[in-house]
Amino acid sequence: MTHGLSHYLRQAWKKPTREMTQTREIAWRAGNAIEKVEKPLRLDRARALGYKAKKGFVIVRVRVKRGGRRRIRFGVKGRKSRKQTIRKTLKMSYQWVAEIRAARYYKNLEVLNSYNVGKDGKHYYYEVILVDPSMPEIKSDRTLKWIASGTNKKRAERGLTSAGKKSRGLSSKRGKSPTLKVRPSLRARERQGK
């Protein structure tokens, strides 16, 4: 059975070799934390998440630091010792953080989705798919005109993207997960009379 290009791209990215990523990551480390790219590195993943090669789409590579979120310990005395914790756990995935940073950098664009393109000892790298909702090509597209409506503003910051929903416990890969949150909540259902 013959396979298409997307199949072979997907297979190559399942186990990327060091030669495949090392030279890229060296260049990415030297560059800016948020960089606009001409076209997606993982074309199969981008297309699966809604990317189209047309006006109104922007691909941005975001670099996020790995490791715990360390806070600077203050040197002033007179504080409670339990408040002096310097390592905090943020209940957000690195991917969600990358989406928020891209959305704040490009204020006129909306985050559609994102995917992982690599990691090294210090950083994670994500490509974020951004859409310009004011473009007529997006407004006339049957599958994407929903993003131009007013209810979909600041999707990444509100946790409405795929990575945001996953971090909030609103999605599971297969079937019903025991940790999956029920929406609307039981109290909200009682108020609605269901």
The domains of the chain are located at 5-153
Structure confidence at residue 149 (pLDDT): 87
For 140-187, write each residue's pLDDT tens digit: 999 998 998 888 899 999 999 999 988 888 865 555 556 666 667 777
pTM exceeds 0.75: yes
Among the listed residues 138, 130, 133, the one whose alpha carbon sits nearest the alpha carbon of residue 156: 130
Taking the C-alpha atoms of residue 132 and residue 111, their distance in angstroms, rounded to an integer, is: 9
Structure confidence at residue 146 (pLDDT): 93
Report the pLDDT averaged over residues 4-12: 88
Greater pLDDT, 46 or 193: 46
**Do 67 and 133 contact (CB within 8 A), yes or no?**
no
For 128-142, write each residue's pLDDT tens digit: 999 999 999 999 999
Note the CATH number of domain 5-153: 3.40.1120.10
Taking the C-alpha atoms of residue 94 and residue 116, their distance in angstroms, rounded to an integer, is: 10
Q: Which residues contact 133 (CB under 8 A, 6 or more apart)?
A: 109, 110, 139, 147, 148, 152
Structure confidence at residue 114 (pLDDT): 96
Structure confidence at residue 182 (pLDDT): 67
Among the listed residues 55, 163, 148, the one whose alpha carbon sits nearest the alpha carbon of residue 102: 163
3-state SS, 11-63, equals HHHHCCCHHHHHHHHHHHHHCCCEEEECCCCCHHHHHHCCCCCCCCEEEEEEE
Report the pLDDT averaged over residues 36-48: 93
Structure confidence at residue 17 (pLDDT): 83
- Mean pLDDT of the residues in the chain: 86
- Of 50-59, 63-72, 177-186, give the lowest mean pLDDT range: 177-186
Report the pLDDT averaged over residues 95-107: 95
